[in-house]
Amino acid sequence: MEACFTAFDKDEDQAININEFTALCKALFRNEKGKPYKMDSQQISDLFMIFNVSGDGSMSKQEFVYCWNGWIKKIVRPVSAIIVVDVQNDFISGSLAIKNCQAGHQGEDVLEPINRMLDTVPFDKHFYSLDWHPANHISFVDNVHMRKLAPESSKTNPNDCQTYDVVVFEGPPKVTQALWPAHCVQESWGAELHPDLKVHPQGKQVYKGSNPEVDSYSAFFDNNKISKTVLEEMIRKEGCTDLYVCGIATDVCVASTAFHAIELGFRTILVEDASRGIKLDDIQKAFERIRTEHGLVCNSNEVKAMVQGRDRRPELGVKLAHECRKSIIYPLKNKNSKYNPVQNGDVNANQNGV
């Protein structure tokens, strides 16, 4: 930390100004060939003001300590995990094989890039999620008669319901549900991971969708957030900062897992060529949302350099800075007191602390 501070404190005033911080960002955000990524001045200024807690335009050494520990060090030395989502028999060649869906993707295509990453990329942790449905699960089209459809549902007669319809069950609570063929039934062949998928010796399996009354696309939460899996707890216990998400289906379970990973504060990367989906438009919408929320969509051949900290993307740096901002207490000047500590995010607090 001391060496970094000294290197960028060019005017030796024991503080980092915006020009010095700009030089730091250019050194920090570089691709694996050492070429800096382009960042506009406003983006850099916004990052600077997150760590310039006093808002005086000069990052003190005390402020820099937090910037170093909470931001720079994690960017340079990320702790990574891969989350392989639902690479199960039923989604590849079984009852819900995605090759029969609108996008026409072949589920088998995820195997080569995932296996290659498992062989060549030094992920710190490995997780595998599995749909694990009871036979009476709410998502199965053959079970639609088991629950009362709400008056506002697109279909109110169970006999009219077909696969891929979206209906509303009366509950309580009311549940909006896409109807799928029976799939990934607990202990069945279709619920097993594909036999050609490599499973890391220390890999952990996470089971989801076991509550018959609610579906669970994400590997973190069920669709109504009534309950959560053990995944977040395991990831936080291992100190992971970066999550690489891939598998089946891109626009459903992979995307939902990525959205929740971002929401939970992790730097999140969806590996495009290691995922296959159902609807082309929904796949693109998922990519756009991930990028908008400061996540990243990349190719498997880009992953190793990022995991090793040699390829450092500004998007992920911005995401991490936003997470840092949530834990910083910013001073708020007012006429009654020189400084009042205010938790950032309070509607009365200026984000720049001025």
Catalytic residues: 86, 208, 253
Q: How far is CA 281 from CA 75, 86, 287, in A?
A: 32, 21, 10
Q: At what angle do helices 41-51 and 314-326 cross, to 10 degrees?
A: 30
The Cα 86–Cα 297 span in angstroms is 19
Rounded to whole angstroms, how far apart are CA atoms 174 and 149? 9
Task: Mention every residue, 6+ apart, whose C-beta is less than 8 A from residue 312.
Answer: 28, 29, 30, 37, 75, 76, 306
Token pair 């291992």 is found at: 238
46 three-state secondary structure:
helix
Handedness of CA 316, 266, 259, 193 (dihedral sign): positive
How many angstroms separate the Cα of 345 from the Cα of each of 54, 157, 326?
A: 16, 47, 7
Residues 6+ apart with CB under 8 A from 248: 85, 86, 87, 88, 91, 92, 98, 107, 110, 254, 275, 276, 277
Whole-angstrom Cα distance, residue 307 to residue 313? 11
Tokens encoding 223? 């669709």
Length of the chain as a residue count: 354
**In whole angstroms, what is the distance from residue 152 CA to residue 31 CA?**
52
Place of tokens 């069945």: 188
Q: How far is residue 155's CA from residue 223's CA, in Å, rounded to a whole number?
A: 21
Question: Could you tell me if 322 and 294 are in contact, meaning their C-beta atoms sit under 8 angstroms apart?
Answer: yes
Residue that is written with structure tokens 């109504």 in the block: 224
